[in-house]
Amino acid sequence: MKISVIGAGYVGLTTAACLGQVGHDVFCSESDKEKLSKLQSGVMPLFEPHLEEVIQSTREAGRLRFGSTEEAIEWGDAIFICVGTPPLPNGDADLSAIEAVALAIAKRASGYRLVIEKSTVPVQTGSQLKKHLSLHRSKGLKCDVASNPEFLREGTSVEDFLHPERIVVGVDSPRAESILREIYEPIVKQTFTCPIHTDCEKNGEPIFLVTDIGSAELIKHASNSFLAMKISYINMVANLCEIVGADVTKVAQGMGLDARIGSFFLSPGIGFGGFCFPKDVQAFIRIAEKSGCDFSLLKEVEKINQGRIGHVVEKLRNELWVLRGKRIALWGLAFKPNTDDIRFAPSIALVSSLLQEGAEVRAYDPEAMEKAKSVLPNITYCADPYEAAQGADALVIVTEWDEFRRPDWDRLRSSIERPLIIDGRNVLEPAEVTRQGFHYVSVGRQALSPAESSSETDDRHTVAGVRNQPADVLAS
Ligand code: UGA
């Protein structure tokens, strides 16, 4: 099928490349001229595992091309809208990019089009889209509108697209449903050539869930807000664990063994970030407010999340007393590993608090430093983790990149001024850290000094919080 994807961000690029991979003829547009010319000349504008290879092979196979919005509108029988919906100052989602695309489609397209909202949008955006497409159409456009929310995680978006747990489509016509079924058939039946795995059988077939448009829109906001709630919940419990001397890793493990609770998204840390959870929780609260529903539960979720940075800074103060003049090393800037994305990353608020207190910040991130430089100009960017730790009074682990899980302890010990690690993501194994002579402060567990490294301590803390792993896996 001829498909257009409007917007070449994380979601749009993944959608375009993967739809090409499964056999469709895809045209992807981007309004940012610089980004478009990069894409046209085969340069990736962002880092996302596997995406570059999939883009390259689908382009070579002639099933993916890049160009302008106008060309995209002409091209596709189905048009996926994947433009950004950033937050407005009042928390509402800014829908101006969606509106601009709708007007362009209405003005330019003739014949039938299925217009699909993939960007995360507030409930009832579908009906607005429909209304405005029909109000402004000038070439006899006939169209249906559908909602097809994405559940792609940055860092695993290609895998999530090709092997999803569920595909949700919100439609109000049989024609729209049948087009979406056709688009997703290779994925539902898992009949495509997988660019990631040699054996995909274990992934199984996804559920194709058909709903009305409003319900599909709500599924997205409700899912992201629920996951954010789980994270804030475990962060709240982690605070209590620190006070009463319990181990949040064990608590999460015990909770997660209950299938009704589930073990994912119970990793405590310095809070959720990224371009999805913070804005989606805010937008969901605003939608509820406007509809007269009390969503104060989600306001608490936000409040707990916002408190996470203060909590880390407090831990630093407990250890270092005065932060002015102290050198702090940060490992990780991206909002999570396997991405270069720093939008709404906790590192931004952390750096700003540290600089405000008069500390000096040195940082290393394997992928996000280029993007961080314009947002965080007043810190020192380092070539590797040990250069960042050079002369530091404390090391804070901000993002759980794999390479931070097994540091070269000798190098770290000889770089750092004071052997203090604040592990904001529970990536290290406490017994190992203290055995290596470091004072270790993690999340929801007791702080440990090197002297406390005994066999009893080892038994208590053999489980490092490997994030985004089910708690039962962590416990084994
Ligand atoms: C999230 C959802 O997981 C996707 O399903 C959704 O499609 C996407 O938003 C979106 O709306 O587009 P993403 O933002 O890429 O995906 O990242 P997640 O892996 O969900 O992590 C979000 C944040 O929560 C990160 O800052 C992460 O560090 C934090 N987190 C996650 C925790 O603090 N603890 C956890 O246990 C899990």
In sequence order, which residues have a C-beta less than 8 Å from that of residue 43 and are 6 or more positions away? none
Q: Return the structure tokens found at 360.
A: 């000096």
Contact 58, 24 (CB under 8 A): no
pLDDT of residue 454: 47
pLDDT, averaged across the chain: 93
pLDDT of residue 198: 82
Atom of ligand 1 nearest to the CA of 271: 33
Q: How confident is the model at residue 170 (pLDDT cuts 50, 70, 90)?
A: very high
Q: Answer yes or no: 28 catalytic.
A: no
Q: Return the structure tokens found at 265.
A: 């998204």
To the nearest 5 percent, what fractions of the chain are helix, strand and coil? 45, 15, 40
Atom of ligand 1 nearest to the CA of 264: 36
pLDDT of residue 453: 44
Amino acid at 42: G
Task: Name the least confident of 108-122, 148-162, 447-461.
Answer: 447-461
Atom of ligand 1 nearest to the CA of 270: 33
The SS3 of residue 326 is coil
pLDDT higher than threshold 90 for residue 436: yes
pTM: 0.92
- 201-258 pLDDT tens trace: 667 889 999 999 999 999 999 999 999 999 999 999 999 999 999 999 999 999 999 9
Which of 28, 276, 293, 382 is an active site residue? Answer: 276
Closest residue to atom 5 of ligand 1, CA basis: 151
pLDDT of residue 202: 64
Atom of ligand 1 nearest to the CA of 120: 11
CA of 172 to the centre of ligand 1 (A): 30
Question: String of b and e for 32-45 (b: at least 16 CB within 10 Å)?
Answer: eeebbebbeeeeee
pLDDT of residue 451: 62
- 387-424 pLDDT tens trace: 999 999 999 999 999 999 999 999 999 999 999 999 99
CA of 277 to the centre of ligand 1 (A): 7
Ligand 1: list residues with CB < 6 Å: 120, 150-154, 224, 227, 231, 265-267, 269, 272-274, 276-277, 280, 335-336, 467-468
The best mutation among 160, 226, 231, 301 to test binding of ligand 1, ranked by most ligand atoms within 8 Å of the C-beta, falls on 231
pLDDT higher than threshold 70 for residue 121: yes
Closest residue to atom 29 of ligand 1, CA basis: 272
The DSSP annotation for 362-380 comes to EEE-TTTHHHHHHH-TTSE
CA of 153 to the centre of ligand 1 (A): 6
